[in-house]
Amino acid sequence: MTDLTKQMLEKLNEFFEEEKLLNHAAHVVQFDMETVCPPKGMELAGETQAYLSNKIFKIHRDPNFLVAAGWLYDHRDELDVYDRALAEQLHREDMKIRNITPEQDREFSKVYNKAYAAWLKAKQSSDFSQFAPSLSAVRDVEFKRVELMDEKSPVLYDNLLDTYERGMTSEKLDEVFGKCRSRLVPLLKKIMASKKVIRTDFLNREVDDRAQEKAVKYLLDTIGFDFERGGFSTTEHPFTDSMGPDDERVTTHFYPTNFLSSMYSTVHEGGHALFDQNQPREHWIHNITDGKTMGQHESVSRFYENIIGRSEAFIHLIFPKIQEIFGDVLSDVTEREFYEAVNYVSPSCIRTEADEFTYIFHIMIRYEIEKAIVAGGVSIDDLPKIWNDTYEEYLGIRPADDADGVLQDVHWTSGFGYFPTYALGNMYNAMYRNRMREEFDVDAAVAAGDFGKINGWMKEHVWKKADLLAPAEWIRDITGRELTPDDFLDYLEEKYSKLYEL
């Protein structure tokens, strides 16, 4: 590395020292908004968050920052693997935000933050009309951001997808979702026609918040969550937030008569947390932890939630403890009955409560609708009806109100293109699950509670290079193959054909 390149890298790192503090403060404010902030405090909290985000944006528009980042990108062959990854990340970011002024960025942030407050109010009153103006404003901001990009795809929606899943296109998603439809729709019909009776009456028995909290903390501990470097809280819509290398926040929501919701949302969010807690320390030091995509992240959360968490081996491991914590609620339930109930297939309106099998239908519905929104083919005001009609077409059910329908998810308050990452996550993790099984007996490790072995494999093969490689390269590095939905579809067909005795 030449002296000048070294100087540029040092200058860039000075900027990042300030950014880390601002970023931490912004995350704390956002976390507060989504957990304990009272309704009337939302506006000021949103303005504060927008102010902090804008300060970070200004750092990345500072002429000295841009000179240093540009130099490093042009001389990236002189850099080690981590700093080269940083230079490439900053270049990609610059192509997206180069033409956005600090004033525009702050206005954009205000739109997103106001949209969150409007969504929360609208959901609580189950009235989409209260959210529609904010969603229209979000759509307009998304269009404006794409318009200002220096390098962009001619397909508008693909630019939004790329924000969350680098290199992904609607053409590729149409292909993989087409395969999913062709194989899963007929299988769903067979499952619904099956004479197999699965007992589910106990799932709606009341469990108080204290018992649920004890259960979910046990689950987090079981899968390897480090409570010395992570916290736990409750919220309206479960999420995980990474405040820093030693501060990972996991949240859930307790429903008195739906204890599975908190259990599996916590394991899901715990998967996200494990990803961040176990990534190489060098990634934090070199400021590249934003390199991973949401598809990569969702692959891990859904790996722990479903492939591990809904397996016979995991139920065998946790059932005695959950039965002890819940007391009489599960006193007349067998381990086998609990396993079958955890995997019961029943088309429902709520994505986050969906069973493992029908979950991808929820994603395909959202994908189709947001593609139409971006293409200008639908009116925002018509979304409740479009949403309900699409649910009836795909799953044969119709939401009773807006809260259970178009308002159930928070994601559109921050833009479009996120939802497909959940489905991509399922495809990635089914692929690396098969790769893991080639090396050791995964079910035996789970049944024994040996998450050191499982997390050790994940750390070496899945988490280690996520910030360094684009998703297509990353999954190829792990499995030696290109992305395919086939492993995921094979997994579902094998598991649910056996469960429903097809």
Tokens describing residue 302: 């859904």
Amino acid identity for residue 483 in this structure = L
Catalytic residues: 269
Residues ≥6 apart with Cβ < 8 Å to 324 = none
Full DSSP string of 359-373: HHHHHHHHHHHHHHH
Q: How far apart are CA 120 and CA 118, in angstroms?
A: 5
Tokens describing residue 383: 């979304």
Measured over the CA atoms of residue 482, residue 485, residue 487 and residue 488, the dihedral's sign is positive
Q: How far apart are CA 407 and CA 270, in angstroms?
A: 25
Residues ≥6 apart with Cβ < 8 Å to 280 = 463, 464
Q: How far apart are CA 159 and CA 169, in angstroms?
A: 8
472: left (phi over 0), alpha (psi -120 to 50) or beta: alpha
Q: What does DSSP say about strands 230-234 and 247-252: parallel, antiparallel, or unpaired?
A: parallel
Total Cβ atoms within 10 A of residue 207: 22
Total Cβ atoms within 10 A of residue 471: 22
